[in-house]
Chains A and B, each alone.
Chain A
Amino acid sequence: MGDLYLVFKNLTRKKMRLALTLFATFIAFMIFGTISAFQSALDSGVELSADDRLITVNKINFTQPLPIAYYNRVRTVDGIVEVTHLNWFGGYYQDPKNFLPMMAVNENTFLKVYNELVLTDEEEAAWKGNRQGLIVGENAARQYGWKKGDRIPINSNIFSQKDGTTSWDFTIEAVYTGEQEQTDTSGLYFHYKYFNETQSFGGNYIGWMGVRTADPARNGEVIKAIDDMFVNSPFETETVPEKAFNQAFLAQIGNLGLILSSVIFAAFFIILVIVGNSMILAIRERTSEIAVLKTIGFKSGRIFAMVLSESIFLALMGGGLGLLASFGLIELFNGSGVAQLPTLVLKPHIIMQSLMFMLLLGGITGIFPAITAQRLNIISALSRH
């Protein structure tokens, strides 16, 4: 038997209280782990943005189109490696609820600018060679059970074909993966030519351009050159680094970070009160036992450490289980195939952050009972008994 054994026995002496306190901590850390993974996935769009990639949009706002002619003009700007253009298609599969992040792109340059999408050379060649070819991210493919070679109809909730229908036929030429775990693989990409030639209105316009520069250090120079080129034209442009564009896009949804942090803070505050109260009660009940330990010869510092470690163990146990549950939830979520949502990952920094919060929770809830136990006067404690 050692001090740890005593801590364990004290911790487990009231099973129901232990279970309830553990459950509260468990819930808090399950929420924390899951929400943090969600937040990290949203942030990954910004984090994974390439430093040497720029986005050129209509200066009015990014939903306004640009003439296709801009594409070739931008290609002439010095300091650019490649340019591609994209159009938002507003696609859905079978039911408008099955929304798809689908774009019509320049098939010759798209994968040079967005090289984090991984497919084989043969697949790339097959896609480029088929006007109705489609490349599908593995996340979307998993959700709808698609595979290479499938012929699928996709509808648009924005565009219609010249014959009045809103359905386009495609052949899946590749299911691409991401260069990194959190690379978004929910997108679908098809030929701009197919889109442009079949749509009933708005031809020869593009949504925006993706520009890869030779060196991130030259971004400023390239941005100025592109935007100056179209100044005072009916379609003025605004070119921004992709990171800034993604940040601005996320900001339009609202301050997600603040919302998520508020949820986490509220959960932790409640747990702090519950666990803290539970620890104070537990120590108050044990006043005479602590006095006896001191009488026998246990020093105050040792008693302090035992009480504090009890609350830290409690937080680590509940928090650890909660984090494990959040891992399970994340796996379930990722496996559910909701293609519009990003891949969630319980990254090492979230685990480290959780551990830190567990220690903090244990420390804060244990420090006052520990000080009380440390300062406990033997005589008054025993006479109370």
Chain B
Amino acid sequence: MSETLFDLKNVRKYFTRGAEEIHVFDGLNLEIEKGDFVAIMGPSGSGKTTLLNMLGGVDQPTDGEISFSGDRIDNLSEGALANWRATNIGFIFQFYNLMPMLSAARNVELPLLLTNLSAKQRKENVATALELVDLADRTTHKPREMSGGQQQRVAIARAIVSDPKMLLCDEPTGDLDRETADEILSMLQLLNRDFGKTIVMVTHDPLAAKYAKRILHLDKGNFISEEVD
């Protein structure tokens, strides 16, 4: 029987811009099962990134419930959410967002600083993660010494190094050429298929979305269609 990892019930999200109140979501419902690979597509302003931020616990709904593995996360404090993110979520950004002054290995090690692992264990985990993304020979390289694809692979290694259940990807191939994008997407697919990582990916790119098991089309805060692989 499949296990629900994320459960969004009647989620509302409002922003105020000056005197105007903008309703991004007005009663959104969504379930994401463990092991799923979901691509969320939609035009700009449809709420994709806001949804991803709420799933990642960096933003909270105005109203409604968000549960993760049965536990509510929408009412957690900032500190508790930080702990929750460190344990359960790996983030992959469009522009990689690596620390420019740190080597690839040090960048990957960052999430492990939030754990109780020893330096030796951290080093081993970093080596494993970098090997998995095929960058074992680039450990000492700084981001500026690597191509965009390599930097994104370092970012993936950083996202998976603490073995989170969930990977949230915000346009992970938006800054890459087609060939490199395919490499990155194949890697995400591998992480989903062989390592059981649940992935939610926001993308504008229909070719990228095809790597997912499920494609959700979002428009004006509502899911208007769903494609299942």
Contacts and interface: CB of A to CB of B under 8 A. Distances in A.
B82 A3 contact: no
Nearest to B114: A297
B27 interface: no
Main secondary structure, interface of B, reads: helix
B142 to A, nearest CB: 11
Contacts of B95: 385
B58 A13 contact: no
B113 interface: yes
A10 B106 CA distance: 13
B78 interface: yes
Interface stretch (A44-52, A152-160, A248-256, A287-295): A287-295
Interface in A98-138: none
A40 B58 CA distance: 56
A296 B110 contact: yes
Contact of B110 (A10, A13, A293, A382): A293
Interface in B77-98: 78-79, 82-83, 85-87, 91, 93, 95, 97
Given A10-B101, A289-B99, A296-B110, A378 B58 contact: yes
Nearest to B105: A1
B114 A298 contact: yes
Which of B49, B102, B158 has the largest number of chain A CB atoms within 10 A?
Answer: B102
B149 interface: no
A295 B58 contact: yes
A379 interface: yes
B58 A9 contact: no
B53 A299 contact: no
B91 A295 contact: yes
Interface residues of A, number: 25
Contacts of A296: 85-86, 91, 110-111, 114, 158
B111 to A, nearest CB: 5
A297 B93 contact: no
Contacts, number: 66
Contacts of A12: 101
B97 A297 contact: no
Nearest to B87: A297
A234 interface: no
B102 to A, nearest CB: 6
A379 B81 CA distance: 14
B74 interface: no
B109 interface: yes
A2 interface: yes
Nearest to B97: A292
Which of A297, A298, A382 has the largest number of chain B CB atoms within 10 A?
Answer: A297
A300 B119 CA distance: 24
A257 to B, nearest CB: 45
Contacts of B109: 1
Contacts of A382: 93, 97
Given A296-B91, A297-B85, 9 more contacts: A2-B113, A9-B99, A9-B102, A12-B101, A289-B97, A294-B58, A297-B111, A297-B114, A298-B82
4 shortest interchain CB distances as A-B pairs: A297-B86, A13-B101, A292-B97, A9-B101
Interface of A: 1-3, 5-6, 9-10, 12-13, 288-289, 292-300, 378-379, 382-383, 385
Interface of B: 49, 53, 56, 58-59, 78-79, 82-83, 85-87, 91, 93, 95, 97, 99-102, 106, 109-111, 113-114, 119, 122, 158
5 contacts: A2-B113, A292-B93, A295-B91, A297-B82, A298-B82
